[in-house]
């Protein structure tokens, strides 16, 4: 079982004179399976569960502004590769689909309690 939180800091981009600020947060709970390759510390991982994604967007430019937010909850899943630093710590890269139009590519560390 895996519980996950992924959040971005507020990011900004400028498109043709319009400044767009956005932030994204996802929360999920997954069943996971790891296959550790023989005689190595490398493993492959699959996960399937439920996630909620929230995005907030604000645009300013040309004398006006607009904002919007959206959230989506549903089935989510992903695949990844990892390296076991020791029995309780792993470094992992993962591709996950957390909503119909939100895919994540993440690199992180996992800690087993």
Domain that holds residue 87: 2-111
Q: What is the pLDDT of residue 84?
A: 96
What is the Cα–Cα distance from 76 to 88, expressed in whole angstroms?
Answer: 25
**CATH number of the domain within which 34 lies:** 2.40.160.20
Say if strands 18-36 and 11-15 run parallel, antiparallel, or are unpaired.
antiparallel
Q: Which pTM was predicted?
A: 0.76
What six digits make up the tokens of 98? 């957390």
Work out how many domains the chain is built from and give that number. Answer: 1
pLDDT tens across the length of the chain (113 residues): 889 998 887 888 888 889 999 898 999 999 999 999 999 999 999 999 999 999 999 999 888 999 999 999 999 999 999 999 999 999 999 999 998 888 999 999 988 88
Whole-angstrom CA distances from 5 to 2, 16, 61, 63 are: 10, 33, 32, 36
Return the number of other C-beta atoms located less than 10 Å from residue 107's C-beta.
9
């Amino acid at each position: 079982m895996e519980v996950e939180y992924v959040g971005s800091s507020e990011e900004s981009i400028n498109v043709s004179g319009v400044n767009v600020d956005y932030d994204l947060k996802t929360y999920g709970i997954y069943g996971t399976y790891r296959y550790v390759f023989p005689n190595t510390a490398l493993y492959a991982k699959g996960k399937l569960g439920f996630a909620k994604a929230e995005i907030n967007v604000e645009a300013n430019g040309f004398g006006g502004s607009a904002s919007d937010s959206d959230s989506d909850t549903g089935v989510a899943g992903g695949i990844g590769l990892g390296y076991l630093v020791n029995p309780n710590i792993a470094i992992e890269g993962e591709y996950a689909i957390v909503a119909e139009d939100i895919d994540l590519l993440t690199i992180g560390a996992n800690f087993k309690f």
